Structure 1
Amino acid sequence: MRFLDANQWRARQAAHERRVDAWLAPHLARRQAGEKHPVEDFLFTYYSFRPAQLRRWHPGAGVVLRDGAPDRDYIAVDGGVTLDTAAAAKRSLSWIHTLLSRTAERPPQFGCFGMHEWAMVYRTDSVRHGQVSLRLSPAETDRVVEENRVRCSHFDAFRFFTPEARPINRLQPTRETQHDNEQPGCLHANMDLYKWAYKLSPLVPSELVADAFALARDIRALDMRASPYDLADLGYPPVRVETPEGRSEYAAAQRAFSVRAAPIRERLIEAVSPLAGSV
């Protein structure tokens, strides 16, 4: 057990709340006004972690907060309160640990060029973000998919492909094969570090959840800039992956995100490793 004096943990709590509030305030204002933003609101609509949950600070497992009060998450111990890890542990703990560990062991791949978003609008008039237009005509958009090898390894991207696009994909990922397919160059695998971090909360420090959120937020911007949608008026100039120059730009950004994601993935693995075998 590690001990945090009241002034220490309250300072960390306040710093976390300030950091998160900078992300939450614009989203909550848009929500109250009935407005939607295809980039900034994605992490709050696609993922299930509520704003209040993201804002609440936890120190992680194995920490005693001096002068803390017991509640539904914390139990009293000598010297203060600590997380009730038995109550907080989820049955998915070992599954998440295995996924993170096996993903970290694989070499990153950077040849998908963001075709997953294009495959989601392939040969369809029903697009996910109807409030923004496509950069190219439907025929031109379809041709980009057909002329580039679609090699998406991420099930939660693949499941949104149109029925016509699924057979084009080099892989046919499923939930059951997720441990075998995910790799650390994938934008969505790195964006999902936020999902695994909050699913592990409160067993992992809230600062780590916030770091994963910040990474996912930046990845989402690239994801949509490289998509077939026209978001230039919202301040997101396109990465034109339909061109050789755009594909090079995308791969370089993908590499940078892979480097940035690696320590977050390792911190999650390290935090959950002592607990994974007990669930």
Structure 2
Amino acid sequence: MRLTETQWRARADAHAARMRVWTLPHQRRRSRGEKHPVLDFLFTYYSLPPTHLERWQPGPGVVLEGPSARRFLDRKGYHEVDGGVALDPAAFTGKQARTARYVLRLLEATASRAPRLSCFGLHEWAMVYRQPRDEIRHAQLPLRLGSAGTDDVVESLDIRCGHYDAFRFFTAPARPRNALQPTRETQPELDQPGCLHVGMDLYKWAYKLGPFVPSELLGDCFELAADIRLLDMRASPYDLSSLGHSPVRIETAEGRAEYARAQAAFARRAAPLRERLIGLYRELLGSDHRAAREVGSGSH
């Protein structure tokens, strides 16, 4: 594919404007020393700098035409080609390929499973279970039910969190209450598409590809993560009324049903993004991945 300078500049401007809806408020809050218990997560837990999120990348197989395309030569991974500038396939290093093989295995395994919708967001409750008030992560927010009420919810409901990067933040008393004991090694066996954190992590698996992910796909994954994060916190034990957000009261049967419906909707929204990432990872790994799959299939 070839893009004229008018075409690619329009795409670059559209992507930057789309992402600045999120990045500019974050940068203003940071300059004032303000914390946002919902949205900071997108820029702290996830490590892509806001300026990189705003930066448009065409992705593989696209030639950028026009004199301004030479600015891309100042970035890693680009080279001159006949009539323009494009990503250099040789810039996809062996180290990136090793990471990509792991991520692709994780994405493919997740895509093969049906969503499970029975966790009800209790991971956030397990992160504050029996925790001293001054040690709670978002101590600036009150707990809707207070400390004792929060602990009662954890003790009255079954916790079924299978995502390691949520489980690792459980308090010590909450860990034995979880039906699963996930580890980093078991992540490919346990990640499933109904998990909110698995859906948010599509953003991470997008930016891990650096310039090799088209920014339109990166933006789609980021916006999904932002929307999921809001549900994650609305269903948490925290009172977000000061931020204008109503709770999803998962301590009630009605709240758990509301959470499961939203969870299922996010799983449906995430599925095509996951497939797009799988296709991109397969393309980048190319014959190396196909050979590995053939060997694996022959061993069963």
Q: TM-score, normalised by structure 2?
A: 0.90
Match of 1:127 in 2: 136
The answer as to 2:48 corresponding to 1:31 is no
Following superposition of structure 1 onto structure 2, how do residues 71-86 of structure 1 map, counting pairs within 5 Å?
A: 71=74, 72-86=76-90
Aligned match of 1:236: 245
What is the match of residue 48 of structure 2? 49
Q: Distance in 2 between matches of 1:30 and 1:85?
A: 38
Find the aligned partners of 2:89 and 2:23 in 1 and give their Cα distance. Answer: 28
1:93 — aligned with what? 100
Structure 1: gaps spanning 5 or more residues? none
- State how many pairs are aligned: 278
Aligned to 1:160: 169
Question: RMSD between aligned alpha carbons?
Answer: 1.2
What does 1:7-26 correspond to in 2, within 5 Å? 7-26=6-25
Aligned residue among 102, 118, 130 for 2:125: 118
How far does residue 73 in structure 1 lie from its aligned partner after superposition?
2.5
The Cα shift of 1:99 comes to 0.7
Could you list the per-position Cα deviations for residues 169-217 of structure 1 after superposition, in whole angstroms to 9, with x for gaps in the alignment?
Answer: 1111111111000000000000111111111121110111111110000
Q: Supply the AA of the counterpart residue of 2:100.
A: L
Q: Does 1:108 align with 2:108?
A: no
Which residue of 268, 276, 279 maps to 2:285? 276
Distance of 2:230 and 2:146 partners within structure 1 = 22
Which string of whole-angstrom CA distances, capped at 9 and with x for unpartnered residues, describes residues 133-179 of structure 1? Answer: 11112121111111111000110000000111111111111111110
1:275 CA drift (Å) = 1.5
Q: Equivalents in 2 of 1:208, 1:128: separation in Å?
A: 31
Distance 2:5 2:165 in 1: 41
> For the residues of structure 1 that align with 2:101 and 2:52, how far apart are their CA atoms?
22
Between the aligned partners of 2:231 and 2:51, the Cα distance in structure 1 is 26
**Identity fraction in percent:** 60
Could you say which residue in structure 2 is the equivalent of 1:180?
Answer: 189
Q: For residue 207 of structure 1, what is the aligned residue in structure 2? A: 216
TM-score, structure 1 normalization: 0.97
Any stretches of 5+ residues in structure 2 without a counterpart?
Answer: 290-300
Cα distance in 1 between the residues matched to 2:228 and 2:88: 33
| Distance (Å, rounded) in 1 between the aligned partners of 2:19 and 2:276 | 20
Distance 1:88 1:7 in 2: 28
- Confirm or deny that 1:226 pairs with 2:235: yes
Which structure carries more helix by proportion?
2
